[in-house]
Amino acid sequence: MTKKALITGITGQDGSYLSEFLLKKKYKVHGLVRRVALEDENHRLWRLRNITKKINLHPASLESYASLVKLIQKLKPDEVYHLGAQSYVDYSFKDEFSTLNTNINGTHYILSALKEFSPKTKFYFAGSSEMFGKVKQVPQSEKTPFHPRSVYGISKVAGYDLTRNYREAYNMFCCSGILFNHESPRRGFEFVTRKITHSVARIKFGLQKELRLGNLDAKRDWGHAKDYVEAMWLMLNQRKPKDYVISTGKQYSVKEFAKLAFELVDLDYKKYVKIEKNLFRPSEVKTLLGNCNKAKKELKWKPKYNFKELVKDMVKSDLEFVQKEGY
């Protein structure tokens, strides 16, 4: 029998790759989108342009319990992948209220709707390495205590705890993926990795003179989003629901990312990168490095892309984008 999956955040980086992955697995894919996305498909659905006719999009809001109940009752999905969120860490400092409202209430609303109207549905929550924040140990595993350093991180810890509580209290199949930074050519321009590769392409074509960045010494465990969406699916296809860290186990600084990106177009990053103090976060997360041994052992998952291949993929894509679009 064909499985039905509902994806929140389907228009984002992870949602688009997950949709493609599930379609290959012969799933019927449904996505929750804001109504405005359906009115402006060119700008808001660009990541889905190749599969729009193969998926089903439903207007609803994570901030409306009634709309989520209606959708869950209608679909009774086999699996829900809850990826939708205000996911930009820096913005969470500027608008704490909407970040907390969307990320915490949205997660609670979906879990509650599933409990009441589709309790057999398997639920995946998109956790984040930002939950570790001021890290208590290196590398971070499923047993590492959380100490979030942003409103975004706080909201994700709350979502993680809600997911665990529904699993334990109501015997539902609910699990969280604690995903470390995962990038791709579909990353939003506001994220530092895409900001770097897009700027590199613009500088190469003479459309930009410099790249302004904040903390170059921040270290992250960067993987490719294509690899990470497979891990989400694997989690929901285990016998028992568990939480997993998904990472590469290797760490690079923002400076190393920028250096490699510029080298790929035969430029020296030192000539173009300028440090701007107002781009530093109020409370910095200096280092994140994941231990994904549990996922490797139990899910039989491992990343296919290495760091250089990831950066190369993003730079190549942005060179093509800038050449075609002119910006």
Catalytic center residues: 128, 130, 152
CA distance 129 to 30: 27
Instruction: For the sheet with 79-82, list strands across it.
Output: 56-59, 28-33, 4-8, 79-82, 122-128, 174-179, 244-246
Strands 174-179 and 122-128: parallel
**C-alpha 239, offset from chain centre:** 25
CA atoms within 13 A on the CB side of 144: 26
C-alpha to C-alpha distances, 67 to 45, 71, 73, 309, nearest whole angstrom: 21, 6, 10, 41
CA distance 83 to 20: 15
SS3 per residue for 89-154: HHHHHHCHHHHHHHHHHHHHHHHHHHHHHCCCCEEEEEEEHHHCCCCCCCCECCCCCCCCCCHHHH
